[in-house]
Structure 1
Amino acid sequence: MNRKKVLIITYYWPPAGGPGVQRWLKFAKYLPDFGYQPVIYTPENPSYPLLDETLVNDVPENIEIVKTKIWEPYQLAEKLNKSNKKFKAGQFDVGTNQSWKSKLSIWVRGNFFIPDARVFWVNPSVKFLEKYLKENQIDTIVTSGPPHSMHLIGLNLKNKLPNIKWIADFRDPWTEISYYQHLKLTKGSDKKHRLLESQVFKTADFTLATSYTDAENFRKNGANAICITNGFDEQDAKNNPIANSSTYFTLSYIGVLEQLRNPEYLWKSLQNLVAVNSQFAKDFKLKFVGRVDDKILQNLENSSLKNHLQNLGYLSHDKAILEMENSTLLLMTNFPNDSSKGIIPGKIFEYLATGKQIISFGPDEADVATILNKTDAGHHFGYSDESKITEFILEKYQLWKHGKLSERKGNIEEFSRRNLTKNLSEILDQLAS
């Protein structure tokens, strides 16, 4: 079968860990089924915040991977302040937790490296890829950000080679992301971020968003935007051993949890339940799988939840899925402000695939709430709904205690990675016609 080549420009690629790598790893896995042959362009020596060697097993056989060297300033930043390594994972201290070193580092990051610290890879990549695309007769490229420097590679290539087709994939928004307001930007820096974002929106042939709200916002700002969410891969669950039935009522959070998404009212509600309900206290376990901010862990360890904590740290993707399946309830959090309504954490789709009930926190009328309602998979709360949170947890606990907590059986096929790749292939078909 003759497959049309598509160049995918992505910073994250195995052995990178975390959710950022999985979107295009899975697209690359299934694109050949729809007549397209992905070619990956990625750094030779990246500075990844997390590593997961098991994801290498999911890289398609015989896929062409092109690499060039990148220079990043993170090593210098980490010498100034060890907490700067959080930047690589989209984390940093906020509010009263900020030291002067943190404040300085955030200011430097936001104003000196626009749009981000991978910007030094843009010009060398454009020079290399301009020649590579011509020599290999590839006329369709995809850029995946963040880091949004990847989109600047696409923007420059489109300007130099007007006949190429370009899809800009935004796994997260640029200036609309919640932590943008914490970057301590000068007016000039803010203007430059917004100008570059606007140029990407108006120049790309298609802009992909991972949520319905983001796609709508992108369209308002001049983009030809379409939503293709993240999803779950049925083969991931099939490759896992059968989950064990837990003897504990286990609420699990899988992934990175930073200060800006800390559900403090949930912790307060759980502390009250542990204090007043001795049976619940005996049965309850709070499990973390992934990178949890040190300040959050410290506060929990100094609370009445201390003896109920199980912190497993970062686990490989396959083991993380097994921990989801070994849980009773699955926790998901989002930034509390309204501008975050469009953020759909990638973990929700793997949560859905387990059939477990999901408890979610974030702004009202969020896209996450739409998905949970559509699939009957759980409940979405505002951060201050303390009494409603307690009622929900107690209701699920009583059902679990009596063996009546059933798993969701709703249709989630539209979120399978293969079906989502089919949607992507239809966009590629449009560009090729």
Structure 2
Amino acid sequence: MDVIVIGGGIAGIATAYQLRAAGHRVCVIERHATVAQGATYGHSGVVLPTPLDVWFGPTFLRHGRQSSGGVISKAGWRGQAHAFTKRLGALHGSEAFEARYALLRPLIDSAQAELDDIDGRFQLEYEQRDGLLYLVRGNDEWSLTQPALELLRQFETPHHALSPAECVAFDAAIPADPPFAGGVRFENGRVANCPLFVKLLKQVLDTQGGVQFVTGREVTAIRVESQRAAVDLAPQPNEAGRSRDVDVMSADAVVVAAGAQTPHLLAPFGLKLPAYPLRMHTLNSPVAHEECVPHGTIVDAGKRIVITRMNHRLRISGAAVLLREKEVDEALPESVTEDALALLGEASRDWAPGAARISAALAWEGVKLLSADGLPAVGNVGHPRLFVNAGHGPAGWALALGSAKLIAQQVSNSAPDLPAETIQALWPGRD
């Protein structure tokens, strides 16, 4: 089959890879000049989520205090955002949290298997490193992490719960003062350079053939019929400066993996994705003092801020701002951006004092989709020729490899590897 994939981020390139592996011809359309330029560009680097950093459950937006969960509140924060966080709040209980994570876990396992397969086949070097240390600030926060620790035991995930003294002994860069409650270490937890991985995987596809890339073009509409599907591309100016006619590309199926632009593209089909936009922030800072840099990656478990070494710089990522759909392409108020970046700087000073030269850091922001039930939106929806792969959230870029495998199986009409209950839970048309 001929398949159009809209989006050249991690979800789109992963989908193209899996579709090509299944024998299909693929065309990837990306509105930026090259791949990995949207939300993928600023990813924290955490490869797969754990129960401690999924964006739902007991520690997320607890007791209605947005700042405690690493989310910055805007003035007038109500309406859709309030309803969204209320739905997330329904997952705070241990039983609801366990049930949702149990549905997500097969996708995590599938993503890990697909990443292992790619690593084994191509030996790509994308700055991958093992070792994650989640740090917990207060005793109340530590008590809220217990359901997550129970899930780690239940799924036999290797980990070590550490006292504050053990955390400091493990990594001397972590300050003992001010006091904190403890930490959880994952020796096999992986961090990697997501945009570099995407660019390398594109090179693999270029070498193998069968995948066409159309960059610098924006899809304005999707059309699906009984025998064919098509997309309209925004007109480009000709040499005289006048716009050409709209270009139309047709295929047997279309997969929308366009990140925050996905809801807009699906709206004409009457589909309301169960997801909400988050504007995430990153500081890429020069190293100030090498001796102060943590040996591994630090995750502030309560605020969901990741501090990791990326080559010669420190990347500090998090500080989400809830948006309305119409605000996706709008700039944030300057005061909100300042609050978000201040939260990142505060985390750096708390957990790795002296490591980052924040005054010289380069700031980045981009929009990710977070679902109201903690699971991405993956699968066929609205029409037999229309598929979606979006809403993976801020934690775990490799999830897209597992969901892309499901898309490829559905396009091929082959039996999916994931359990039926997980596939149903991922369906983009759910409430």
TM-score over 0.5 (shorter chain): no
Greater relative CO, 1 or 2 (CA 8 Å, sep 6+): 2
TM-score by length of 2: 0.26
Q: Which has the higher helix share?
A: 1
TM-score by length of 1: 0.26
Q: Which has the higher strand share?
A: 2
